[in-house]
Amino acid sequence: MAEVVHLLRERPGVGGTVRRAAAALDVDGVAVSVAARTSGGEILWCSGDTSQRFEDLQRVLGEGPGPDCLADGTTVRVDDLARVRPERWPALAAEVPGQAVRAVFCFPLRIGAIALGVLTAVRRAPGGLTDEQSDDALALAAGLTTCLLERGDPALLPRDDSDPLPFLQHAEVHQATGMVSVQLAVPLAEALLRLRAHAYSSGRTLTDTARDIVARRLRLAPDTDPPPPAADKDRTP
């Protein structure tokens, strides 16, 4: 993992480096997200479809290990999503049976008490990380935090030009949010809630819904209600 952290700081592309990290941690996917004013967290990079779909689901629902990690600035480890008490993440619990992900480990990209973002590792099978893997994940999170701070803007995190899709998706969600805001004459935060609500109710990903809005294949109705605010959650699985 020391080699991975060194590559992260020395090379311009984050893609191959985070893939190496996923292999070192013995997980099926790794995602990096950062805090955003209007949406809680924005995905910067994912190592594959498994992590991409789970990150997108958390964004649509507005709850899960990642949002909790970002909000609290603390590590969230879930060895088996199927064994988490439903009241902890009610909406996520309803989606777990259809998800490929069974174990999730979220580490804050933190400076002091402030969480700048989240490193999320996922597995298709239940089971925890070893102490060594946990230490490696913390080292990677620290390296990513340094990377963000050195560039001053999360959008300047080193990218992998051969793998631009996550960044295109990131831009599409922002563009769609702006379009919905103008079309419905609502603030950006409410526009994003409405976008999430439509994606959830239609059983589609947030990215696909945003793409249809940007392409003008979809226009949200003015009476589309945003999802109700999440209830307080018991943090104990």
Please state the rounded mean pLDDT for residues 91-115. Answer: 89
Beta carbons within 8 Å of 219's beta carbon, 6+ residues apart: 183, 213
What's the CA gap between 50 and 14, in Å, rounded?
Answer: 18
Q: What is the 3-state secondary structure (H, E, C) of the chain?
A: CHHHHHHHHHCCCCHHHHHHHHHHHCCCEEEEEEEECCCEEEEEEECCHHHHHHHHHHHHHCCCHHHHHHHHCCCEEECCHHHCCCCCCHHHHHHHHHCCCCEEEEEEEEECCEEEEEEEEEECCCCCCCHHHHHHHHHHHHHHHHHHHHHCCHHHCCCCCCCCHHHHHHHHHHHHHHHHHHHHCCCHHHHHHHHHHHHHHHCCCHHHHHHHHHCCCCCCCCCCCCCCCCCCCCCCC
Ranges of each domain in the chain: 2-156
Residue 42 phi, psi (nearest 5): -125, 135
Selected residue with higher pLDDT from 225 and 222: 222
- Can you give the pTM of this predicted structure? 0.67
Task: Could you please state the CATH topology (level 3) that the domain comprising 2-156 is classified under.
Answer: Beta-Lactamase (3.30.450)
Q: What is the pLDDT of residues 29-50, one digit of tens each?
A: 999 888 765 555 677 778 878 8
Kindly indicate the confidence band of residue 18, based on its pLDDT and cuts at 50, 70 and 90: low
pLDDT band of 14, cuts 50, 70, 90: low
What mean pLDDT is predicted for residues 168-182? 75
* Cα–Cα distance list, 127 to 13, 27, 194 (Å): 30, 10, 35
Buried b (16+ CB within 10 A) or exposed e, 168-200: ebbebbbebbebbbeebebebebbbbbbbbbbb
**Rg of the chain's alpha carbons, rounded to an integer?**
17
pLDDT of residue 142 exceeding 50, the answer is: yes
DSSP β-bridge partners for residue 104: 78, 122
Question: Mean pLDDT for the chain?
Answer: 77
Q: Could you tell me which of 165, 117, 105, 173 has the C-alpha nearest to residue 143? A: 117
The whole-angstrom separation of Cα 66 and Cα 18 is 17
Q: Is the pLDDT of residue 217 over 60?
A: yes
Judge whether residue 65 has pLDDT over 90: yes
